[in-house]
């Protein structure tokens, strides 16, 4: 049984965090520069949402919004689905399918531990 912490260990558990007041354009630039397709929206110490490349296309570009003036608080996915570092990868894949999402925020009692994508999990 593979656990989420093992996936994070291999993939580099670094998380890109942005504020809810950041613009969608800024988030897109950060994702492009860091090679990720999901940023965690934080209002420290809390995780308040996630914003993905898919959100950018669907909620900003296709909706005709200006990426430079659209704040993440307006277009992020609030209350993201989470898992724990000791959760089984198969359970997480089922959870992602159930919620029709591509990323899970990994949390434990101490806080944010990382983000895993479906690609991270099925590549195991």
122 by DSSP, 3-state: which?
Answer: helix
Beta-carbon contacts of residue 93 (< 8 Å; ≥ 6 apart):
118, 121, 122
Termini Cα distance of the chain? 11
- The phi and psi torsions of 108 (rounded to 5 degrees) equal -140, -170
Domain boundaries in the chain? Answer: 4-122
Cα distance between residue 84 and residue 48, in whole Å:
17
| CATH number of the 4-122 domain | 3.10.580.10
Going residue by residue through the chain (124 aa), what tens digit of pLDDT does each one get?
A: 899 999 998 887 578 899 999 999 999 999 999 999 999 999 988 999 999 999 999 999 999 999 999 999 999 999 999 999 999 999 999 999 999 999 999 999 999 999 999 999 987 5
Is the N-terminal amide bond of 27 cis, ω within 30° of 0? no
């Amino acid at each position: 049984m593979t656990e989420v912490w093992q996936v994070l260990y291999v993939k580099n558990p670094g998380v890109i965090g942005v504020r809810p007041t950041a613009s969608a354009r800024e988030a897109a630039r950060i994702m492009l520069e860091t090679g990720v397709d999901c940023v965690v929206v934080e209002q420290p110490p809390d995780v308040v949402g996630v914003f993905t490349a898919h959100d950018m296309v669907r909620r900003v570009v296709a909706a005709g919004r200006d990426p430079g003036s659209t704040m993440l608080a307006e277009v992020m996915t609030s209350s993201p689905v989470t898992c724990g570092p000791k959760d089984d990868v198969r359970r997480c894949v089922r959870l992602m399918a159930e919620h029709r999402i591509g990323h899970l925020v990994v949390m434990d009692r101490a806080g944010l531990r990382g983000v895993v994508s479906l690609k991270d999990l099925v590549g195991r």
